[in-house]
Amino acid sequence: MSAHRTTDEPLRRTPLHRLNLELGAKMVPFAGYDMPVHYRLGILKEHLHTRAKAGLFDVSHMGQADLVGPDHATTALALEKLVPADVLNLAPGQQRYSQLLNEAGGIIDDLMLTRPALPAHAGRLYLVVNASRKEVDYDHISARLPANVRLEPAPNRALLALQGPAANQAMLALSPPTNALAFMMGANVHVDGIDCHVSRSGYTGEDGFEISVAAERAEELARLLLAQDGVEPIGLGARDSLRLEAGLCLYGHDIDEATSPVEAGLAWSIQKRRRVEGGFPGARRIGEELAHGTKRRRVGIRPDGRAPAREGSEIVARSGERLGTVTSGGFGPSLNGPIAMGYLPQSCAAPATPVNLMVRGKALGASVAALPFVPHRYAR
């Protein structure tokens, strides 16, 4: 019940540290940062509040960086050597989800990339990577860039996520242009006079925004957003249960260097042009998998009873044969029941297939479920 530190290094703090404490956050170590796991409402209520109204998340631990080249095509093609997404054909302002791949087609990290709409930022791509993978990613990318493209980490920027059905109304008051943003589009805007980059995206399955802001304006911005109707601060605990209900992958759990994007059910993020042309790490394996399928794939699982099956629980056939492992598991507050994700052989990956989950030495009944568990409500 206590959080253990694995290193002696002091925990890093986000620009919202002081505000988080003021808001009654329970702080825990996460990816080297002192982060809010929940605020005064607690995980369950914070989760339900985000689905009902709007939640503000401090995700400043995430890695923000700019890839900077002479023009869009040069920068895009440099990144395309590392990821399977079509970066070249991004429209100004358009954002995409992709993965840094190793030579075996395994996932080094998953990331968001945006082609800025701002003319002054032509030739740049904004990247957002996982906190736990920052150093690995930056080294990996930097070592593979041509001479005229460079990676500029932006540790002086904070990242806030405003998520939920009331997020748009809350932003509308402070930054009218954000109302016009479609899902997976971003813009450089003022939010009540504060320079921000806002994208319509998130990690909850709800409509919402991710807002990148200079560290020194982050607290002011967070206070403004928290003052809007229906906005409550939400911690990493609810962020995890929200993303699990939305069927979204957590790096290091549902995906890792041994997982290909096709196995992980992320083939949708590999655009047609890249499938045809290849030219990304692991293109051969991924091409094979796209054409002929994979041995295993990521699935949703719903336990029959009330007991959650946590990460690491074995998934076995009703006959007892070992099939796979739970990669994320817990309680889904919006479903008021346990949910999990894991990998299963294709032969038993169809929704409604009965399986057992081994929990504390007992086989508990469960069945394969379609993802997401809770329908996405993005602004299309």
Partner 1 sequence: MAVERYTKDHEWVRVEDGIGTVGITEHAQAQLGDIVFVEVPEPGRQAKQGDAVAVVESVKAASDVFAPVSGEVVEVNSEIATQPALVNEDAQGKAWFFKVKISNPAELDGLMDKSAYEAFVKEAS
Please write down the HEC assignment for all residues of 49-105: HHHHCEEEEECCCCEEEEEECCCHHHHHHHHHCCCCCCCCCCCCCEEEEEEEECCCC
Among 282, 330, 355, 356, binds partner 1 (CB under 8 A): 330
Return the number of the residue (115 or 243) whose C-beta is nearest partner 1.
243
# binding residues, partner 1 (CB under 8 A)? 19
Residue 312 sits in the site that holds partner 1 (CB under 8 A): no
**Least distance (Å) from partner 1 to the CB of residue 375?**
21
Contact (CB, 8 A) for 374 and 245: yes
Q: At what angle do helices 167-174 and 215-226 cross, to 10 degrees?
A: 120
Beta strand 107-114 pairing with 124-129: antiparallel
**Least distance (Å) from partner 1 to the CB of residue 245?**
12
Q: Which stretch binds partner 1 (CB under 8 A): 41-49, 65-73, 245-253, 314-322?
A: 41-49
Return the number of the residue (234 or 286) whose C-beta is nearest partner 1.
234
List own/partner pairs for 226-230 with CB under 8 A and 24 or more apart: 226/23, 226/56, 228/54, 228/169, 228/170, 228/173, 228/174, 229/166, 229/169, 229/170, 230/53, 230/54, 230/164, 230/166, 230/169, 230/170
Residue 365 sits in the site that holds partner 1 (CB under 8 A): no
Residues 6+ apart with CB under 8 A from 316: 322, 323, 355, 356, 357, 358, 363
Q: Which stretch binds partner 1 (CB under 8 A): 38-46, 88-96, 149-157, 341-349?
A: 38-46
Among 338, 341, 357, 366, binds partner 1 (CB under 8 A): 338
Return the number of the residue (240 or 263) whose C-beta is nearest partner 1.
240
Per-residue interface string for the shown chain with partner 1, residues 266-305, x marking contact by CB under 8 A: ----------------------------------------
Contact (CB, 8 A) for 340 and 303: yes
**Least distance (Å) from partner 1 to the CB of residue 363?**
15
Residue 307 sits in the site that holds partner 1 (CB under 8 A): yes
What is the layout of strands, in order, in the sheet containing 107-114? 95-101, 107-114, 124-129, 63-68, 150-153
Residue 331 sits in the site that holds partner 1 (CB under 8 A): yes
Residue 27 sits in the site that holds partner 1 (CB under 8 A): no
**Least distance (Å) from partner 1 to the CB of residue 342?**
17
Q: Which stretch binds partner 1 (CB under 8 A): 42-50, 68-76, 135-143, 154-162?
A: 42-50
**46 to 105, contacts with partner 1 by CB under 8 A?**
47
Residue 355 sits in the site that holds partner 1 (CB under 8 A): no
Contact (CB, 8 A) for 280 and 80: yes
Question: Which residues sit opposite 332 in a β-bridge?
Answer: 337
Closest of 286, 293, 343, 270 to residue 105, by C-alpha: 286
Footprint of partner 1 on this chain (CB under 8 A)? 1, 37-38, 42-45, 47, 237, 241, 306-308, 310, 330-331, 333, 338, 360
